[in-house]
Structure 1
Amino acid sequence: MTPRRFLTISAEVAVALIVASLLLGQVLGTPVLLGYVETGSMEPTLEPGDGFVAIPDAVAGDVEEGDVIVFRAEELQGGGLTTHRVVGETERGYVTQGDANPFTDQDGDEPPVKEGQIVAKALQIGGSVVVIPNLGTVVTGLQSSFGAIQQRLAVLTGSRALLGTQGIAYVLLGLSALLYLYDLVVGGGKLRDRERDRDRDQGISPELVVALLAAVLVASATAAMVVPAGTQQFGVVSAEFASENPTVIQQGESSTIPYTVPNAGLIPVVAYLEPGSEGVAVSPERVRVAGRGEATVDMTLSAPDETGYYRRFVTEHRYLAVLPGDMIDALYETHPWLPIVVIDAGLAGGVALLGLLVMGGRRVRVRKRESRHDRSTWHRLLRYLTR
Structure 2
Amino acid sequence: MSLRGYATRGVELLLVLALVALIAGAALGQPVLLGFVETGSMEPTLEPGDGFVAIPSPVAGDIEEGDVIVFEAQNLQGGGLTTHRVVGETESGYITRGDANPFTDQDGQEPPVTEGQIVATAWQVNGEVVVIPGLGLLTEAARGMLDSVQRTLAQTFGTRAFLGTQGLALLIAGGGLAVLLFGFLFDDERRQRVVKRTRRRKGIYDPRRLVLAMALFVALVSGGTMVAMSNTQEYGMVSASFDSENPTTVPTNETSNLTYPALNGGQLPVYAFYAPASSNVDVEPTSIRMDRGESRNVTVTLQAPPETGYYPQYVAEHRYFAVLPFGVVAGLYAVHPWLPTLVTSLLMGGAFLLVGFLLLGASPVRTRSRSRSSWF
Name 2:83's counterpart in structure 1: 83
* Structure 1 pair 308–63 and aligned structure 2 pair: CA distance change class (3 A): closer
Q: Contact 1:269/1:289 (CA < 8 Å) preserved in 2? A: yes
Question: In the aligned structure 2, how far is the partner of 1:365 from the partner of 1:130?
Answer: 50
Matches within 5 A, 1:248-327: 248-327=249-328
The Cα shift of 1:163 comes to 5.8
Instruction: Give the partner amino acid of 2:23.
Output: L
Write out aligned runs for 1:1-387 (5 A). 1-2=1-2, 5-144=5-144, 146-147=146-147, 164-165=164-165, 202-363=203-364
With over 3 angstroms needed to count, the CA separation of the structure-2 counterparts of 1:204 and 1:68, relative to structure 1, is: farther
Q: Aligned partners of 1:169 and 1:149: how far apart in 2? A: 13
Q: Which stretch of the first structure deviates more once superposed, 238-247 or 278-287?
A: 238-247
Displacement of 1:235 after TM fit? 1.5
CA distance in 2, matches of 1:232, 1:279: 14
- Is the 8 Å Cα contact of residues 28 and 227 (structure 1) preserved in structure 2? no
- After superposition, the Cα gap between the structure-2 partners of 1:308 and 1:138, relative to the gap in structure 1 and judged at 3 Å, is same
Question: Which structure 1 segments of 5+ residues have no match?
Answer: 176-198, 371-387
Q: Once superposed, what is the RMSD of the aligned Cα atoms?
A: 3.3
Q: Secondary structure at the match of 2:229?
A: coil
Which residue type is aligned with residue 138 of structure 1? L
What is the identity, as a one-letter code, of the residue corresponding to 2:16? A
Identical amino acids, percent of aligned pairs: 51
Deviation at 1:4, TM superposition (A): 6.5
- Change in Cα spacing, 1:226 to 1:60, as seen in structure 2 (3 Å) is same
Contact 1:58 1:337 in 2 (8 A): yes
Higher relative contact order (CA 8 A, sep 6+): 1
Kindly tell me: are residues 364 and 279 of structure 1, through their superposed partners in 2, closer, same or farther at Cα, counting changes over 3 Å? farther
Work out whether residues 70 and 81 of structure 2, in 8 Å CA contact, stay in contact via their aligned partners in 1.
yes
TM-score (norm 2): 0.81
Gapped regions of structure 2 (runs ≥ 5): 176-199, 372-376
Give the direction of change, closer, same or farther, for the CA distance of 1:313–1:146 in structure 2 (3 Å limit).
Answer: same
Distance 1:64 1:145, change over 3 A: same
Post-superposition offset of 1:201: 5.2
Matched residue SS, 1:227? helix
Distance 1:50 1:273 in 2: 35
Q: TM-score, normalised by structure 1?
A: 0.79
1:170 deviates by 9.2
Partner Cα distance (1:210, 1:77) in 2: 49
Shift of residue 88, structure 1, vs aligned partner:
1.8
**Counterpart amino acid of residue 134 in structure 1:** G
Q: CA deviation at 1:316?
A: 0.8
Once the 2 structures are TM-superposed, how far is the Cα of residue 8 of structure 1 from its aligned partner? Answer: 4.9
How many residues align? The count is 348
Deviations 1:128-185 (A, max 9, x none): 2222111101112333455567779999999988764466689999x9xxxxxxxxxx
